Amino acid sequence: MDASTISSSSPSSFLVSSTASSASSTSSPSSSSPLELSLEFPTLLDNMDVMFQRAHDGAKTCKAFSTFLQQSAVLEEGYGSSIVKVGEAFAGIQESNAPSVVAATAGASASIQALGRQHVGLANTLSQDVCKSLGAYVDQQSAMLRGMIQEVHALVEDLEKEKAAHKKIRDKHKKACKEAEGVLKKGGALSLPPVPPPLSQLPDAIDVAVAAPPSLPSSLPPSLPPSTAADPISGPDHSDATSSPIPPSAPPSVPAVSSSILRLQDRAQEALFDLRAMEKEYQTSKNRMEGKEEAFRRALREHLGRFQVQEEARALFVKQQLQRPP
């Protein structure tokens, strides 16, 4: 396991932006602290920092352990070979007049050579068995960790895309609310609250209540004298000198007022229907976003659990190798 490779894959490069503030406010754990993983969000992302830091420390430990074993194997092999040579040289001592001494010398030489061969055997065990087993184990753990890193990268990327899409829909929803509110306030007949109501509170059919257009009077007011009801062509009758003339006034433009109100009514209906459609799209996006976040939490919990099991197995493996009898 390459420590530099794991260190370059720090989770700080792909943490979700919504939790960056909480991740930066917490102090990074030391390498000597115990592995304590909380499975509650948002501390899950903080635990990813713990996970990668522990993996970085574990890679350095395994590398140092492998170097120690290789150096020990070299020393053991040299020491054992030297002892074997000493035993062989000691076996060459002969005393013709003391057969008992010769027998003792031969026994001591055999014991010395056996001790040297034990050291040589230990060197072979360290270099051929332990170091290879450790290397294979480290490669396996490194592959598992790289797989988890890639999976977390994919999860974060997918969540970021969903967040960006949801932000666009949220902005469109806010714009639709403002447009509908502006149209209704301008009409003076309807109004919207600052926050649009949910779909369950919106009416199925939207009827815009507007004031009835003004109409021409069907009869003259009773306050006017009958003499004012003159023929529209010949004009008012001024035969009665005592009656005061009525100043002429232009009749109201009924078609213009009706057209303006109808246009306002159409705009209000269109704005409300657009808002209702946007509300559905917004709720759908919100539900999808919540589902993505929950899936992200579950995946992080799973990865953290797997990594905790992996770290316990690594610590046990290193301990067993260190306590292995020669």
pLDDT digits (tens, 9 = 90+) for 266-284: 777 787 888 888 888 888 8
61 domain residue, yes or no = yes
What is the C-alpha to C-alpha distance for residues 80 and 126, in angstroms, rounded to an integer? 14
254 domain residue, yes or no = no
Query: Mean pLDDT across the stretch 284-298?
Result: 87
255 domain residue, yes or no = no
**Which residues does 186 contact at the CB level (< 8 Å), separation at least 6?**
264
**Which residues does 321 contact at the CB level (< 8 Å), separation at least 6?**
65, 69, 130, 133, 134
239 domain residue, yes or no = no
> Domain with 69 in it: what CATH number?
1.20.1270.60
Write down the mean pLDDT value for the chain: 67
Q: What is the pTM of this model?
A: 0.48
Query: Mean pLDDT across the stretch 19-32?
Result: 35
User: Predicted confidence band at 51 (pLDDT cuts at 50, 70, 90)?
Assistant: confident
What percent of the chain is predicted at pLDDT more than 90? 0
What is the C-alpha to C-alpha distance for residues 189 and 200, in angstroms, rounded to an integer? 22
- Please report the pLDDT score of residue 97 as a whole number: 63
178 domain residue, yes or no = no
Query: Mean pLDDT across the stretch 256-264?
Result: 66
- Cis peptide leading into 221, omega within 30 of 0? no
Q: How many domains does the chain have?
A: 1
With a cut of 60, say whether residue 77 has pLDDT above it: yes
**Higher-confidence residue: 131 or 288?**
288
53 domain residue, yes or no = yes
310 domain residue, yes or no = yes
What is the C-alpha to C-alpha distance for residues 170 and 130, in angstroms, rounded to an integer? 59
- Other C-beta atoms lying within 10 Å of the C-beta of residue 107: 11
> Can you give the residue range of the structural domain that contains 60?
41-169+301-323
As to burial, measured by CB atoms within 10 angstroms (0-12 exposed, 13-18 middle, 19+ buried), residue 73 is: buried
164 domain residue, yes or no = yes
